[in-house]
Amino acid sequence: MIDEYEGRISTPVPRILEKYRDEISEALKISISDQSIFVYEMLRYCLGWVDKTGEPVKGVPGKALRPSLCLFACESVGGRVTNAMPTAVSLELIHNFSLIHDEIQDFDEVRHHRPTLWSIWGAPKALVAGDVLRMIADRSLEAYGDIDVGTTLRQVALLTEACLDMIEGQYMDISFEGKSSVTLYQYMNMIARKTGALIRSSIHLGSIIGSSDDEVARMFRRSGQSLGYVFQIRDDILGTWGKEYLTGKPVGSDIRRKKNSLPIVYAMSESQGVAKKALKEVFSKNELEDRDVELVLEIMEDVRSMEYSQGLAEEFCDKALDTLREARLSRDAMDDFGELVHFLANREF
């Protein structure tokens, strides 16, 4: 069990996210230098280990989804967790580097119920902190032990590919904001990059470290691609209808930001006549008022935007599971993966 957020809400999490948590946390702390330069204190704050004064804090930050997927994939195909840990650490650091920059670009002042890095120390220092974290992620890959040079180089190439996809996806997401002409195809292409790339590579890289079977690795990659869709679609649902005390964001937060999330893109594509005109007028405004958000929510309800989005998440949930079954993993491994996939498709935070 994890004590989450204000009110000390106790929420059960999948075994995969608990199994490797302590090992991941220890490896991450080793990766962050104890140098006296203050930027490292900022990174420790970003990763949830200290408060803004540098005092240690209780609780477990984040889900550590990407490193957990990497370690799970490696172990499930017969590999050693220790061999995959450098990649797992690198994945988590890259993810947090992307969050630091994303928060600045989106002017987000709160994440996980704590002030974001830039909102405390300013955008220039936060940008540098993010860059430092990205370089530490590269350095983590130098820690390989029993992995041959060929596999190491393959790891680096695939991780670089995922980073490029992720950054391209972020650019696409920013460029979509405020537009009323984004199609479902464009949206799916964007999230396959922005969110999907790192999730896909997490499970793919773990399988490569754990096994030399390229066909099995391809199954993990395809499953990870579906899992990326599951994660982001559910994230979009929470960004529109999530409970504020769990997500830290008010209902309709993505609408207020004029963010082209799946519920909004779907509503725009399905609405007709007066409703479609109203949506376009709302999203043409510089700033949205409460009544604008309420109007968009009403139109979404009329076209059943939530039902469509959740249904699509569950379709990709099934695809992720069906694909990985072809890898013929142990029953325990498939049970753990199934628990995780269903958690991601139905999570509340």
pLDDT in tens, 49-79: 999 999 998 754 678 999 999 999 999 999 9
CB 256 within 8 A of CB 288: yes
The predicted structure's pLDDT at residue 145: 58
Measured CA distances, 149 to 73, 116, 154, 172, 347 (Å): 20, 38, 9, 35, 39
pLDDT mean over 306-315: 98
User: What distance in Å separates the CA atoms of residue 304 and residue 313, rounded to the nearest whole number?
Assistant: 15
CB 302 within 8 A of CB 275: yes
The runs of H, that is alpha helices, within 34-183 are 38-46, 65-76, 81-106, 117-121, 123-140, 149-176
Whether 342 shows a pLDDT value over 60: the answer reads: yes
What are the φ and ψ backbone dihedral angles of 85, each rounded to 5 degrees? -60, -40
Whether 5 shows a pLDDT value over 50: the answer reads: no
The predicted structure's pLDDT at residue 146: 66
The predicted structure's pLDDT at residue 278: 94
pLDDT mean over 223-236: 97
Tokens of 135: 């370089």
Whether 99 shows a pLDDT value over 90: the answer reads: yes
| Range of weakest confidence among 34-48, 91-105, 205-219 | 34-48
What mean pLDDT value characterizes the chain? 91
Whether 262 shows a pLDDT value over 90: the answer reads: yes
Domain positions in the chain are 9-346
- Dmax (CA) of the chain: 64
* Kind and range of the H or E run holding 9: strand 9-11
The predicted structure's pLDDT at residue 171: 95
Whether 148 shows a pLDDT value over 80: the answer reads: no
Whether 1 shows a pLDDT value over 90: the answer reads: no
Q: Which fold does the domain 9-346 belong to in CATH? A: Farnesyl Diphosphate Synthase (1.10.600)
